[in-house]
Amino acid sequence: MKYFPLVALLLLIGNVGQAQVTLIDSFVHGGIMRTYRLYIPAVYNGTSAVPIVLNLHGYTSNGMQQEIYGDFRPIADTANFIIAHPDGSFDGNNNRFWNAFGAASPDDKGFLSALLDTIIANYNINQNRIYATGMSNGGYMSYLLACSMSERIAAIASVTGTMTQAMKTNCLPSHPMPVMVMHGTADPVVPYVGNASGIPIDSVITYWVGRNHCNATPIFTAVPNLVLADGCTAEHYLFQGGDLGSTVEFYKILGGGHTWPGAPIAVGVTNMDISGSAEIWRFFSKYSLDHLASGLHNTFGFEIRPFFVYPNPSPKNCSVYFPGSEKKRITIFNEVGQCIQSVQTTKASFSFEVSNSGIYFIRVMTEDQVQTQKIIIE
């Protein structure tokens, strides 16, 4: 693929006249031309500092493919954060990769730090809310950033990645590091039980739980098996009580492959009971470098937890994700205020279908808060 500096690809949202921008740019680092994609949501206006997510691709992939496969763009459009999709450099087999295995070069950690500097120089970024996530090799790289660039990273999430033994031995984060892990027990590429290239996933969990001084006994939730045809199920483990409010969350995909949960493209056994991207942003949104404590708080002192609607825009079928197991009322209105659907549930996710295209509003009401979001049915 050929890259052009500062090429803006304008993407329009159907009927509402708003636009998101994807910028494709490059710069030289360590003698190598490094390329990246930057997604700017329509709601960004530069007046308020916004978070940024580094979304790192897997081995042989690239930033454009990760932008589509591990897609945060619909979430960013609502939550107002910027997404960077950088490209790894080429190895001897002409495959893109991230140097998370201790080789002297390329200096991918330095490249990603320089990339952040470049973005911060041009956009109003909240430097206390920089997050890293990645698929497979990108997950390895996210762990490396947590270990050795923690002064810039507030939280990380790994999907189908793990840590090397050397990475674990030399890991020296400067603060409690919130970590989310998603991994399939039948992953054929990065085995759940580990191999010569990485430690077992259970060892990764144990390490970060101990490092953050979380409670060793997790809160366990069996994720509702909403999609029977996906060939796998999910379990959620929450390790709370860590230093400065840090937690470790683990989605164990029973029978899951080397895949991103909720991905739009199934390239193996893919869990569709959760949206990996929505869950990762829910996790990230709780943490800030300057005050690693969970949640946003309003003036009354209780926690405000944002909910997510995915995908948005949608062809017909959508899901609402709202963290927590308390009782909630989910109501869908059309653009003239008529109630289309209403359900009361304690589940963290709820799927619905709307037959007619148009603009709708989803309201989530709990005992202490009410939130509303707009959704477009195409």
34 touches 110 (CB < 8 A): no
Instruction: Calculate ∠ Cα 107-279-37, nearest 5°.
Output: 40
Q: In what order do the strands lie in the sheet with 349-353?
A: 308-310, 317-321, 349-353
Distance between start and end Cα atoms, the chain: 31
The answer on pLDDT for 277 being more than 60 is yes
- Where helices occur in 235-319 by DSSP H, the ranges are 276-284
Q: Distance between CA 273 and CA 351 in Å, rounded?
A: 10
In tens, the pLDDT along 28-77 reads 999 999 999 999 999 999 999 999 999 999 999 999 999 999 999 999 99
Q: Is 226 left (phi over 0), alpha (psi -120 to 50) or beta?
A: alpha
| Structure tokens that stand for 181 in this block | 């892990």
Q: Which H/E stretch holds residue 28?
A: strand 19-29
Residue spans per domain, the chain: 7-294, 307-377
The answer on pLDDT for 4 being more than 80 is no
Q: Which fold has domain 7-294?
A: Rossmann fold (3.40.50)
Predicted pLDDT of residue 210: 95
pTM: 0.75
81 touches 158 (CB < 8 A): no
Q: Are 7-294 and 307-377 equal in CATH topology?
A: no
Give the pLDDT band (50/70/90) at residue 5.
very low
The answer on pLDDT for 1 being more than 60 is no
219 touches 202 (CB < 8 A): no
* The CATH homologous superfamily of the domain defined by 307-377: Immunoglobulins (2.60.40.10)
The answer on pLDDT for 255 being more than 70 is yes
Beta carbons within 8 Å of 260's beta carbon, 6+ residues apart: 69, 70, 135, 159, 160, 182, 270, 276, 277
The answer on pLDDT for 11 being more than 60 is no
Q: In terms of Cα–Cα distance, which of 143, 156, 157 is closest to 98?
A: 143
Q: Is it true that the peptide bond before 323 is cis, omega within 30 degrees of 0?
A: no
The answer on pLDDT for 304 being more than 70 is no
The residue to which tokens 């829910």 are assigned: 282
By 3-state DSSP, what share of the chain in percent is helix, strand and coil, each rounded to 5? Answer: 20, 35, 45
The answer on pLDDT for 212 being more than 80 is yes
Percent of the chain past pLDDT 70, that is, above it, reads 87
In tens, the pLDDT along 306-357 reads 666 666 777 777 777 666 667 888 888 887 677 888 888 887 777 788 888 8
The answer on pLDDT for 2 being more than 90 is no
Q: Is 265 exposed, middle or buried (0-12, 13-18, 19+ CB in 10 A)?
A: exposed
Q: Distance between CA 29 and CA 110 in Å, rounded?
A: 8
Predicted pLDDT of residue 359: 83
The answer on pLDDT for 101 being more than 70 is yes
Q: Distance between CA 143 and CA 149 in Å, rounded?
A: 10
Give the pLDDT band (50/70/90) at residue 17.
very low
Give the pLDDT band (50/70/90) at residue 302.
very low
Q: Give the chain's mean pLDDT.
A: 87
Q: Which residue has the higher pLDDT, 183 or 290?
A: 183
